[in-house]
Structure 1
Amino acid sequence: MFASFNHDNFHHICDQLAAADTDLALIINNYGYPLLWSRPNSFESLVHIILEQQVSLASALSALNKLKEAIQEITPGRVLLLTDEELKACYFSRQKTAYVRYLAEALLCGQINLKAFEDLPDDEIRAQLTALKGIGNWTVDVYLMFVLHRADIFPIGDLAAVQSMKKVKKLSPNISREEMVLLAQQWQPYRTVATMLLWHDYLSRRKNSV
Protein backbone atom coordinates (compact mmCIF):
# COMPACT_ATOMS: atom_id res chain seq x y z
CA MET A 1 0.00 0.00 0.00
CA PHE A 2 1.28 3.48 -0.86
CA ALA A 3 1.27 6.36 1.60
CA SER A 4 -1.45 8.76 0.48
CA PHE A 5 -3.68 11.46 1.87
CA ASN A 6 -7.29 12.56 1.47
CA HIS A 7 -9.77 15.13 2.73
CA ASP A 8 -10.28 13.14 5.93
CA ASN A 9 -6.65 13.18 7.09
CA PHE A 10 -5.22 16.22 5.29
CA HIS A 11 -5.52 18.70 8.17
CA HIS A 12 -4.25 16.11 10.62
CA ILE A 13 -1.11 15.63 8.50
CA CYS A 14 -0.68 19.41 8.29
CA ASP A 15 -0.86 19.53 12.10
CA GLN A 16 1.70 16.73 12.40
CA LEU A 17 4.10 18.61 10.15
CA ALA A 18 3.49 21.86 12.04
CA ALA A 19 4.17 20.17 15.38
CA ALA A 20 7.58 19.05 14.10
CA ASP A 21 8.50 22.20 12.14
CA THR A 22 7.86 25.69 13.50
CA ASP A 23 8.33 27.24 10.04
CA LEU A 24 5.46 25.20 8.63
CA ALA A 25 3.42 25.96 11.76
CA LEU A 26 3.87 29.65 11.04
CA ILE A 27 2.37 29.23 7.56
CA ILE A 28 -0.79 27.73 9.09
CA ASN A 29 -0.88 30.43 11.77
CA ASN A 30 -0.56 33.18 9.15
CA TYR A 31 -2.76 31.84 6.37
CA GLY A 32 -4.74 28.86 7.65
CA TYR A 33 -4.67 25.43 6.06
CA PRO A 34 -3.77 25.06 2.38
CA LEU A 35 -6.19 23.76 -0.20
CA LEU A 36 -5.98 20.07 -0.98
CA TRP A 37 -5.30 20.39 -4.69
CA SER A 38 -6.86 17.43 -6.45
CA ARG A 39 -7.58 16.34 -10.03
CA PRO A 40 -9.20 13.20 -11.46
CA ASN A 41 -7.05 10.39 -12.87
CA SER A 42 -7.70 11.19 -16.51
CA PHE A 43 -6.11 12.05 -19.83
CA GLU A 44 -7.48 15.58 -19.40
CA SER A 45 -5.60 16.01 -16.10
CA LEU A 46 -2.30 14.97 -17.69
CA VAL A 47 -2.94 17.31 -20.64
CA HIS A 48 -3.57 20.09 -18.12
CA ILE A 49 -0.26 19.37 -16.35
CA ILE A 50 1.63 19.33 -19.67
CA LEU A 51 0.08 22.70 -20.52
CA GLU A 52 1.30 24.04 -17.16
CA GLN A 53 4.94 23.29 -18.00
CA GLN A 54 6.94 26.54 -17.84
CA VAL A 55 3.93 28.87 -18.20
CA SER A 56 1.52 30.57 -15.81
CA LEU A 57 -1.36 28.55 -14.38
CA ALA A 58 -3.77 31.02 -15.97
CA SER A 59 -2.29 30.51 -19.44
CA ALA A 60 -2.48 26.74 -19.09
CA LEU A 61 -6.10 26.85 -17.94
CA SER A 62 -6.98 29.15 -20.83
CA ALA A 63 -5.56 26.64 -23.32
CA LEU A 64 -7.34 23.74 -21.61
CA ASN A 65 -10.68 25.56 -21.70
CA LYS A 66 -10.17 26.46 -25.36
CA LEU A 67 -9.54 22.78 -26.12
CA LYS A 68 -12.73 21.86 -24.24
CA GLU A 69 -14.68 24.36 -26.33
CA ALA A 70 -13.32 22.75 -29.48
CA ILE A 71 -13.95 19.08 -28.65
CA GLN A 72 -16.26 19.16 -25.58
CA GLU A 73 -14.73 16.06 -23.95
CA ILE A 74 -10.94 15.82 -23.82
CA THR A 75 -10.16 12.24 -24.83
CA PRO A 76 -7.13 10.77 -26.65
CA GLY A 77 -9.20 9.94 -29.73
CA ARG A 78 -10.74 13.40 -30.04
CA VAL A 79 -7.41 15.17 -29.58
CA LEU A 80 -5.78 13.06 -32.30
CA LEU A 81 -8.49 14.12 -34.76
CA LEU A 82 -7.38 17.77 -34.44
CA THR A 83 -4.89 19.24 -36.87
CA ASP A 84 -1.82 21.16 -35.76
CA GLU A 85 -3.56 24.37 -36.81
CA GLU A 86 -6.63 23.54 -34.73
CA LEU A 87 -4.47 22.88 -31.68
CA LYS A 88 -2.55 26.09 -32.33
CA ALA A 89 -5.91 27.90 -32.24
CA CYS A 90 -6.32 26.41 -28.74
CA TYR A 91 -3.06 28.13 -27.71
CA PHE A 92 -0.98 24.96 -27.92
CA SER A 93 2.68 25.51 -28.80
CA ARG A 94 4.25 23.25 -31.42
CA GLN A 95 6.09 21.35 -28.66
CA LYS A 96 3.04 20.83 -26.48
CA THR A 97 1.02 19.75 -29.50
CA ALA A 98 3.60 16.99 -30.04
CA TYR A 99 3.71 16.04 -26.34
CA VAL A 100 -0.06 15.70 -26.07
CA ARG A 101 -0.18 13.64 -29.26
CA TYR A 102 2.48 11.25 -27.90
CA LEU A 103 0.51 10.88 -24.68
CA ALA A 104 -2.77 10.24 -26.53
CA GLU A 105 -1.13 7.59 -28.72
CA ALA A 106 0.49 5.91 -25.69
CA LEU A 107 -2.90 5.64 -23.98
CA LEU A 108 -4.73 4.38 -27.06
CA CYS A 109 -2.16 1.67 -27.83
CA GLY A 110 -2.00 0.53 -24.20
CA GLN A 111 1.60 1.61 -23.61
CA ILE A 112 0.39 3.26 -20.42
CA ASN A 113 -2.74 2.67 -18.36
CA LEU A 114 -3.77 5.43 -15.96
CA LYS A 115 -6.11 3.18 -13.94
CA ALA A 116 -3.28 0.68 -13.42
CA PHE A 117 -1.06 3.47 -12.08
CA GLU A 118 -3.23 3.61 -8.97
CA ASP A 119 -1.72 0.28 -7.86
CA LEU A 120 1.89 0.89 -8.93
CA PRO A 121 4.77 2.34 -6.88
CA ASP A 122 5.90 5.90 -7.58
CA ASP A 123 9.16 4.86 -9.25
CA GLU A 124 7.43 2.57 -11.73
CA ILE A 125 4.92 5.27 -12.67
CA ARG A 126 7.79 7.72 -13.11
CA ALA A 127 9.67 5.31 -15.36
CA GLN A 128 6.64 4.72 -17.60
CA LEU A 129 5.65 8.37 -17.91
CA THR A 130 9.14 9.82 -18.43
CA ALA A 131 9.61 7.34 -21.28
CA LEU A 132 7.13 9.52 -23.19
CA LYS A 133 8.50 12.53 -25.02
CA GLY A 134 7.65 15.78 -23.26
CA ILE A 135 7.00 14.28 -19.83
CA GLY A 136 9.73 14.96 -17.28
CA ASN A 137 10.03 14.67 -13.53
CA TRP A 138 8.09 17.86 -12.75
CA THR A 139 5.07 16.62 -14.72
CA VAL A 140 5.23 13.24 -12.97
CA ASP A 141 5.59 14.91 -9.57
CA VAL A 142 2.45 16.99 -10.08
CA TYR A 143 0.54 13.94 -11.36
CA LEU A 144 1.58 11.89 -8.32
CA MET A 145 0.71 14.73 -5.94
CA PHE A 146 -2.53 16.13 -7.39
CA VAL A 147 -4.02 13.06 -9.04
CA LEU A 148 -2.86 9.99 -7.09
CA HIS A 149 -2.35 11.88 -3.79
CA ARG A 150 0.96 10.14 -3.12
CA ALA A 151 2.09 11.58 0.19
CA ASP A 152 5.86 11.76 -0.05
CA ILE A 153 6.84 13.77 -3.15
CA PHE A 154 9.06 16.86 -3.11
CA PRO A 155 9.07 18.51 -6.56
CA ILE A 156 12.56 20.00 -6.70
CA GLY A 157 11.85 21.20 -10.25
CA ASP A 158 8.98 23.42 -9.11
CA LEU A 159 10.07 27.05 -8.94
CA ALA A 160 7.33 28.20 -6.56
CA ALA A 161 8.00 25.40 -4.06
CA VAL A 162 11.75 26.05 -4.17
CA GLN A 163 11.36 29.83 -3.78
CA SER A 164 8.95 29.37 -0.89
CA MET A 165 11.23 26.88 0.86
CA LYS A 166 14.16 29.30 0.58
CA LYS A 167 12.03 32.08 2.06
CA VAL A 168 10.37 30.05 4.81
CA LYS A 169 13.59 28.32 5.86
CA LYS A 170 15.75 31.45 5.36
CA LEU A 171 18.11 29.54 3.08
CA SER A 172 20.94 30.93 0.99
CA PRO A 173 19.82 31.93 -2.52
CA ASN A 174 22.72 29.82 -3.80
CA ILE A 175 21.78 26.61 -2.01
CA SER A 176 22.05 23.60 -4.32
CA ARG A 177 19.14 21.42 -5.43
CA GLU A 178 20.81 18.45 -3.73
CA GLU A 179 20.96 20.30 -0.40
CA MET A 180 17.30 21.26 -0.68
CA VAL A 181 16.30 17.66 -1.39
CA LEU A 182 18.23 16.59 1.72
CA LEU A 183 16.54 19.29 3.83
CA ALA A 184 13.12 18.21 2.57
CA GLN A 185 13.74 14.73 3.96
CA GLN A 186 12.83 16.08 7.40
CA TRP A 187 9.20 16.11 6.20
CA GLN A 188 9.08 12.43 5.28
CA PRO A 189 6.73 10.61 4.89
CA TYR A 190 4.58 13.67 4.07
CA ARG A 191 6.71 15.76 1.74
CA THR A 192 3.73 16.29 -0.59
CA VAL A 193 1.67 17.94 2.15
CA ALA A 194 4.69 19.99 3.24
CA THR A 195 5.00 21.18 -0.36
CA MET A 196 1.33 22.17 -0.39
CA LEU A 197 2.04 24.27 2.69
CA LEU A 198 4.97 25.90 0.86
CA TRP A 199 2.77 26.63 -2.17
CA HIS A 200 0.12 28.04 0.19
CA ASP A 201 2.72 30.41 1.64
CA TYR A 202 3.96 31.41 -1.82
CA LEU A 203 0.47 32.12 -3.19
CA SER A 204 -0.64 33.92 -0.02
CA ARG A 205 2.40 36.19 -0.08
CA ARG A 206 1.78 37.04 -3.74
CA LYS A 207 -1.89 37.73 -3.10
CA ASN A 208 -1.09 40.00 -0.16
CA SER A 209 1.54 41.94 -2.13
CA VAL A 210 -0.91 42.93 -4.89
Structure 2
Amino acid sequence: MQQAITFLTSKDKTLKFILENFGNPTIQKRQEGFASMCHIILEQQVSIASAKACYVKLENHFGQILPKLIHSATNEELKNCGISRQKIIYIKDLASKVLNKEIDFSTFSSKSEEQIRAELITIKGVGNWSIEVYLMFCLQSPDIIPLGDIAIKNTIIELYNCHTHEEMQVLTNNWKPFRTFASYTIWHYYLKKRNKI
Protein backbone atom coordinates (compact mmCIF):
# COMPACT_ATOMS: atom_id res chain seq x y z
CA MET A 1 0.00 0.00 0.00
CA GLN A 2 2.77 2.46 0.91
CA GLN A 3 4.33 2.15 -2.54
CA ALA A 4 0.98 3.04 -4.14
CA ILE A 5 0.47 6.00 -1.78
CA THR A 6 3.96 7.39 -2.46
CA PHE A 7 3.54 7.02 -6.22
CA LEU A 8 0.00 8.46 -6.44
CA THR A 9 0.55 11.40 -4.07
CA SER A 10 3.61 12.43 -6.09
CA LYS A 11 1.64 12.26 -9.36
CA ASP A 12 -1.77 13.64 -8.38
CA LYS A 13 -2.45 16.47 -5.96
CA THR A 14 -6.16 15.62 -5.70
CA LEU A 15 -5.48 12.05 -4.55
CA LYS A 16 -2.87 13.48 -2.17
CA PHE A 17 -5.51 15.83 -0.73
CA ILE A 18 -8.00 12.95 -0.24
CA LEU A 19 -5.46 10.70 1.49
CA GLU A 20 -4.20 13.52 3.74
CA ASN A 21 -7.67 14.74 4.71
CA PHE A 22 -9.82 11.60 4.68
CA GLY A 23 -7.27 8.90 5.56
CA ASN A 24 -6.43 5.69 3.72
CA PRO A 25 -9.19 3.63 2.12
CA THR A 26 -10.06 0.13 3.31
CA ILE A 27 -8.88 -2.51 0.86
CA GLN A 28 -11.63 -5.04 0.33
CA LYS A 29 -10.79 -8.72 -0.02
CA ARG A 30 -13.45 -11.21 -1.05
CA GLN A 31 -13.07 -14.94 -1.49
CA GLU A 32 -12.51 -16.10 -5.03
CA GLY A 33 -15.18 -18.18 -6.69
CA PHE A 34 -18.79 -18.67 -7.62
CA ALA A 35 -20.43 -17.15 -4.51
CA SER A 36 -18.51 -13.88 -4.88
CA MET A 37 -19.43 -13.62 -8.56
CA CYS A 38 -23.11 -14.13 -7.61
CA HIS A 39 -22.74 -11.33 -5.04
CA ILE A 40 -21.23 -9.00 -7.66
CA ILE A 41 -24.12 -9.74 -10.06
CA LEU A 42 -26.58 -8.89 -7.26
CA GLU A 43 -24.72 -5.58 -6.75
CA GLN A 44 -25.32 -4.42 -10.32
CA GLN A 45 -27.25 -1.12 -10.39
CA VAL A 46 -28.51 -1.34 -6.79
CA SER A 47 -27.20 -0.12 -3.44
CA ILE A 48 -24.57 -2.17 -1.63
CA ALA A 49 -27.01 -2.65 1.29
CA SER A 50 -29.79 -3.93 -0.96
CA ALA A 51 -27.46 -6.42 -2.69
CA LYS A 52 -26.08 -7.59 0.66
CA ALA A 53 -29.62 -8.21 1.96
CA CYS A 54 -30.38 -10.43 -1.08
CA TYR A 55 -27.08 -12.26 -0.69
CA VAL A 56 -27.72 -12.96 3.01
CA LYS A 57 -31.22 -14.29 2.17
CA LEU A 58 -29.65 -16.60 -0.43
CA GLU A 59 -27.09 -17.83 2.11
CA ASN A 60 -29.75 -18.41 4.76
CA HIS A 61 -31.98 -20.26 2.32
CA PHE A 62 -29.35 -22.55 0.79
CA GLY A 63 -26.78 -22.75 3.59
CA GLN A 64 -24.05 -22.36 0.99
CA ILE A 65 -24.15 -20.59 -2.36
CA LEU A 66 -23.08 -23.38 -4.70
CA PRO A 67 -23.56 -23.71 -8.50
CA LYS A 68 -25.62 -26.93 -8.26
CA LEU A 69 -28.00 -25.39 -5.68
CA ILE A 70 -28.56 -22.19 -7.68
CA HIS A 71 -28.92 -24.13 -10.93
CA SER A 72 -31.59 -26.47 -9.53
CA ALA A 73 -33.44 -23.79 -7.53
CA THR A 74 -36.84 -22.68 -8.79
CA ASN A 75 -37.29 -19.11 -9.95
CA GLU A 76 -39.84 -18.71 -7.14
CA GLU A 77 -37.24 -19.69 -4.51
CA LEU A 78 -34.76 -17.15 -5.88
CA LYS A 79 -37.44 -14.48 -6.23
CA ASN A 80 -38.30 -15.00 -2.53
CA CYS A 81 -34.68 -14.07 -1.75
CA GLY A 82 -35.32 -10.67 -3.34
CA ILE A 83 -33.65 -11.39 -6.67
CA SER A 84 -35.10 -9.81 -9.81
CA ARG A 85 -36.24 -11.89 -12.78
CA GLN A 86 -33.31 -10.57 -14.83
CA LYS A 87 -30.68 -11.40 -12.21
CA ILE A 88 -32.15 -14.89 -11.73
CA ILE A 89 -31.33 -15.48 -15.42
CA TYR A 90 -27.79 -14.17 -14.85
CA ILE A 91 -26.89 -16.24 -11.78
CA LYS A 92 -28.45 -19.38 -13.29
CA ASP A 93 -26.37 -18.86 -16.44
CA LEU A 94 -23.26 -18.44 -14.26
CA ALA A 95 -24.13 -21.66 -12.38
CA SER A 96 -24.66 -23.51 -15.66
CA LYS A 97 -21.30 -22.36 -17.06
CA VAL A 98 -19.47 -23.46 -13.88
CA LEU A 99 -21.21 -26.86 -13.87
CA ASN A 100 -20.35 -27.33 -17.57
CA LYS A 101 -16.73 -26.39 -16.80
CA GLU A 102 -16.85 -23.42 -19.20
CA ILE A 103 -15.73 -21.28 -16.26
CA ASP A 104 -13.36 -22.59 -13.61
CA PHE A 105 -12.66 -20.02 -10.91
CA SER A 106 -9.90 -22.20 -9.40
CA THR A 107 -7.75 -21.62 -12.51
CA PHE A 108 -7.98 -17.81 -12.46
CA SER A 109 -4.89 -17.25 -10.32
CA SER A 110 -2.76 -18.78 -13.10
CA LYS A 111 -4.49 -16.92 -15.96
CA SER A 112 -3.90 -13.49 -17.45
CA GLU A 113 -6.38 -10.67 -16.94
CA GLU A 114 -7.34 -10.96 -20.64
CA GLN A 115 -8.12 -14.68 -20.26
CA ILE A 116 -10.24 -14.05 -17.17
CA ARG A 117 -12.13 -11.23 -18.89
CA ALA A 118 -12.77 -13.48 -21.92
CA GLU A 119 -14.32 -16.16 -19.68
CA LEU A 120 -16.43 -13.90 -17.48
CA ILE A 121 -17.82 -11.81 -20.34
CA THR A 122 -19.62 -14.93 -21.63
CA ILE A 123 -21.96 -14.91 -18.59
CA LYS A 124 -25.35 -13.35 -19.34
CA GLY A 125 -25.62 -9.90 -17.79
CA VAL A 126 -21.92 -9.64 -16.95
CA GLY A 127 -20.05 -6.67 -18.41
CA ASN A 128 -16.87 -4.75 -17.70
CA TRP A 129 -17.99 -3.40 -14.31
CA SER A 130 -18.73 -6.85 -12.84
CA ILE A 131 -15.48 -8.26 -14.21
CA GLU A 132 -13.43 -5.34 -12.87
CA VAL A 133 -14.98 -5.65 -9.41
CA TYR A 134 -14.12 -9.38 -9.39
CA LEU A 135 -10.54 -8.61 -10.48
CA MET A 136 -10.17 -5.93 -7.79
CA PHE A 137 -11.89 -7.54 -4.81
CA CYS A 138 -11.31 -11.26 -5.38
CA LEU A 139 -8.03 -11.41 -7.28
CA GLN A 140 -6.52 -8.19 -5.87
CA SER A 141 -5.42 -7.04 -9.33
CA PRO A 142 -3.37 -3.88 -8.72
CA ASP A 143 -4.19 -1.84 -11.82
CA ILE A 144 -7.98 -1.69 -12.36
CA ILE A 145 -10.14 1.42 -12.75
CA PRO A 146 -13.87 0.64 -13.15
CA LEU A 147 -14.94 3.70 -15.15
CA GLY A 148 -18.42 2.20 -15.53
CA ASP A 149 -18.98 2.62 -11.79
CA ILE A 150 -21.37 5.51 -11.06
CA ALA A 151 -19.59 6.59 -7.86
CA ILE A 152 -16.17 6.58 -9.55
CA LYS A 153 -17.49 8.42 -12.60
CA ASN A 154 -19.38 11.09 -10.62
CA THR A 155 -16.47 11.69 -8.25
CA ILE A 156 -14.03 12.11 -11.15
CA ILE A 157 -16.44 14.63 -12.72
CA GLU A 158 -16.67 16.47 -9.38
CA LEU A 159 -12.96 16.51 -8.58
CA TYR A 160 -11.33 16.75 -12.00
CA ASN A 161 -14.03 18.28 -14.20
CA CYS A 162 -13.57 15.39 -16.66
CA HIS A 163 -16.79 14.58 -18.48
CA THR A 164 -16.07 12.18 -21.34
CA HIS A 165 -14.87 8.61 -21.11
CA GLU A 166 -11.81 9.59 -23.16
CA GLU A 167 -10.88 12.39 -20.73
CA MET A 168 -11.27 9.99 -17.79
CA GLN A 169 -9.12 7.41 -19.56
CA VAL A 170 -6.31 9.95 -20.08
CA LEU A 171 -6.54 11.13 -16.45
CA THR A 172 -6.56 7.65 -14.93
CA ASN A 173 -3.72 6.41 -17.16
CA ASN A 174 -1.52 8.67 -15.00
CA TRP A 175 -2.30 6.38 -12.05
CA LYS A 176 -0.84 3.25 -13.67
CA PRO A 177 0.30 0.79 -12.29
CA PHE A 178 -1.74 1.55 -9.13
CA ARG A 179 -5.18 2.32 -10.53
CA THR A 180 -6.87 -0.11 -8.11
CA PHE A 181 -5.62 1.80 -5.06
CA ALA A 182 -6.63 5.06 -6.76
CA SER A 183 -10.12 3.58 -7.30
CA TYR A 184 -10.38 2.65 -3.62
CA THR A 185 -9.29 6.21 -2.74
CA ILE A 186 -11.99 7.70 -4.99
CA TRP A 187 -14.67 5.41 -3.47
CA HIS A 188 -13.40 6.31 0.02
CA TYR A 189 -13.82 10.03 -0.69
CA TYR A 190 -17.27 9.47 -2.24
CA LEU A 191 -18.52 7.59 0.85
CA LYS A 192 -16.90 9.92 3.41
CA LYS A 193 -18.37 13.01 1.75
CA ARG A 194 -21.81 11.44 1.97
CA ASN A 195 -21.30 10.19 5.55
CA LYS A 196 -21.73 6.59 4.42
CA ILE A 197 -18.71 5.37 6.37
Normalised to the residue count of structure 1, the TM-score between the two structures is 0.90
Q: CA offset at residue 150 of structure 1? A: 0.7
Q: CA offset at residue 166 of structure 1? A: 1.8
1:133 aligns with 2:124: yes
2:184 alignment counterpart: 196
1:82 aligns with 2:109: no
1:121 alignment counterpart: 112
Amino acid at match of 2:24: Y
Counterparts in 2 of 1:1-210, with a 5 A limit? Answer: 10-169=1-160, 171-172=161-162, 175-207=163-195
2:42 touches 2:54 (CA, 8 Å); kept in 1? yes
Moved beyond 2 Å, runs of 4+: none
Aligned-residue identity in percent: 39
5+ residue gaps, structure 2: none
Hey, what's the Cα distance between the residues in 1 that align with 2:119 and 2:148?
Answer: 19
Q: Please report the RMSD computed on the Cα atoms of aligned residues, expressed in angstroms.
A: 1.4
Hey, what's the Cα distance between the residues in 2 that align with 1:115 and 1:11?
Answer: 30
1:11 touches 1:33 (CA, 8 Å); kept in 2? no
5+ residue gaps, structure 1: 1-9
Hey, what's the Cα distance between the residues in 1 that align with 2:71 and 2:124?
Answer: 16
Q: What is the CA deviation profile of residues 89-134 of structure 1, one whole-angstrom value per residue up to 9, with x for unaligned ones?
A: 0001001001000101111111011111111111111111111211
Q: What is the CA deviation profile of residues 157-198 of structure 1, one whole-angstrom value per residue up to 9, with x for unaligned ones?
A: 0010111112222x15xx211221121100001111111100
Hey, what's the Cα distance between the residues in 1 that align with 2:33 and 2:191?
Answer: 26
Normalised to the residue count of structure 2, the TM-score between the two structures is 0.96
